[in-house]
A and B are shown apart, each in its own frame.
Chain A
């Protein structure tokens, strides 16, 4: 019985794959890539957002997020509604050089900083380099795919523009970002970010101001 279970899991893993893309002609691919890049604001930028977080076990909370990005790196700050700094961190162009300037409990857990910076980075920073594939995905969707060292990023374009950014680790969906409303200079008025799984969470992010 146990052997059967292992076999089934093995087969499932072997069959799992990223959503299949049908390659586009070169001209269409170039146009699609330009539209994919519209999912993100051009550097440098500064922005303020409100965040409604839905956390595991039914917990939730409200925060203000302030972030700034340049070609040198990303700076993100979380404030309580009363203006108290709960978390303040920055990182250079690489994801491994995170510097936490301030972290107040419960935002001082080691995993929190990298996770937050990944959320902000995936929502507001275009993946580096050129995409590994551009093609048509599901019905009415075209996709730009970046295959990075530790994850794959899909930016999904629909008739009205970029609408979803999905992150995969191997073949598992690790983050899904819905871009809602009409963007201005790459800033969408509302973003819904969802991290699936047992420790998953959802962030409803609304743009307050940008510079």
Chain B
């Protein structure tokens, strides 16, 4: 389940790229990798919107993500659920806030999530083309449609959970407009980032489980 932070994070890694006069920063996999390599830290708020046929109003979740190169990550939902994923030096911790205290999330996780976690480093490097889990396709910008990276699961069993993921890149280097996660059928989860900060020092405790 927690592949989403990784994917989201990977897309944000694409976010800071030196302006390129001749070609867009997302021209090819190589230029994307080059852009990602310059990223040291990212902090951003996110709004996740899940539409469901049985609800007239979408379910909105809000949270915060932080990344520090080479592989420290914080993905925190603040509402309506309060959950936290922290990764520091390869150690993954998942927690849930319950009765005002953080407790370890010991629920059974999807096997697919473990596979995806194993590929995080590829994504952190903007190295989608080396993924063995997702088949990436880079779609250049078209009139009325910004550039996109589409990820389709290689394994059909994973495809029954997530059919594809679309990362919508911004026109300006360093921006990601949105991420859409499509389930088999009609389900779509939309994640939008806001108030992103790049290159700021992030203290160690942001990537550690709270005491």
Q: Interface residues, chain A, CB within 8 Å of chain B?
A: 46, 48, 50, 52-53, 55, 58-64, 66, 68, 75, 77, 79-85, 102, 104-106, 204, 206, 208-209, 211
B53 to chain A, nearest CB (A): 9
The answer to whether A82 touches B2, judged by C-beta atoms less than 8 angstroms apart, is yes
Contacts of B4 in A (CB 8 A): 82-84
Contact of A102 among B77, B181, B185 (CB under 8 A): B185
Q: Does B117 contact A (CB under 8 A)?
A: no
Contacts A46-B54, A46-B56, A66-B52 known; A84 to B1 CB distance under 8 Å? yes
Contacts A48-B55, A66-B52, A85-B183 known; A204 to B110 CB distance under 8 Å? no
Contacts of A75 in B (CB 8 A): 54
Contact of A81 among B1, B108, B160 (CB under 8 A): B1
Contacts A62-B83, A83-B59, A84-B183 known; A204 to B107 CB distance under 8 Å? no
Give the contact-size bracket for chain B: 35 or more
Q: In the complex, A70→B61 CA distance in Å?
A: 26
The answer to whether B103 touches A60, judged by C-beta atoms less than 8 angstroms apart, is yes
The answer to whether A105 touches B111, judged by C-beta atoms less than 8 angstroms apart, is yes
Contacts of A209 in B (CB 8 A): 57, 59
6 contacts between A and B (CB under 8 A): A46-B55, A46-B56, A62-B81, A64-B80, A68-B54, A83-B4
Interface residues of B in 57-107 (CB under 8 A from A): 57, 59, 61, 77, 80-81, 83, 96, 98, 103-107
Contacts A82-B1, A104-B110 known; A204 to B162 CB distance under 8 Å? no
Q: In the complex, A84→B96 CA distance in Å?
A: 17
Q: In the complex, A106→B163 CA distance in Å?
A: 19
Q: Does B161 contact A (CB under 8 A)?
A: yes
Contact of B96 among A60, A82, A105 (CB under 8 A): A60
Q: In the complex, A84→B188 CA distance in Å?
A: 9
Q: In the complex, A103→B106 CA distance in Å?
A: 20
Q: Does B189 contact A (CB under 8 A)?
A: yes
Task: Tell me what chain A mostly uses at the interface: helix, strand, loop, or mixed.
Answer: strand
The answer to whether A82 touches B107, judged by C-beta atoms less than 8 angstroms apart, is no
Q: In the complex, A152→B159 CA distance in Å?
A: 43
The answer to whether B96 touches A83, judged by C-beta atoms less than 8 angstroms apart, is no
Contact of A66 among B59, B61, B111 (CB under 8 A): B59
Q: In the complex, A77→B186 CA distance in Å?
A: 14
Q: Does B50 contact A (CB under 8 A)?
A: yes
Contact of A59 among B108, B181, B183 (CB under 8 A): B108
The answer to whether A81 touches B61, judged by C-beta atoms less than 8 angstroms apart, is yes
Q: In the complex, A182→B53 CA distance in Å?
A: 29
The answer to whether B81 touches A81, judged by C-beta atoms less than 8 angstroms apart, is yes
The answer to whether B55 touches A83, judged by C-beta atoms less than 8 angstroms apart, is no
Looking across the interface, which residue of chain A has its beta carbon closest to that of B181?
A83
The answer to whether A60 touches B105, judged by C-beta atoms less than 8 angstroms apart, is yes
Contacts of A85 in B (CB 8 A): 183, 187
Contacts A52-B98, A79-B50, A84-B1 known; A211 to B110 CB distance under 8 Å? no
Contacts of A64 in B (CB 8 A): 59, 80-81
The answer to whether B80 touches A50, judged by C-beta atoms less than 8 angstroms apart, is yes
Contact of B80 among A80, A82, A208 (CB under 8 A): A208
Q: In the complex, A183→B156 CA distance in Å?
A: 45
Q: In the complex, A85→B185 CA distance in Å?
A: 11
Q: In the complex, A53→B83 CA distance in Å?
A: 13
Contacts A62-B105, A77-B54 known; A52 to B96 CB distance under 8 Å? yes
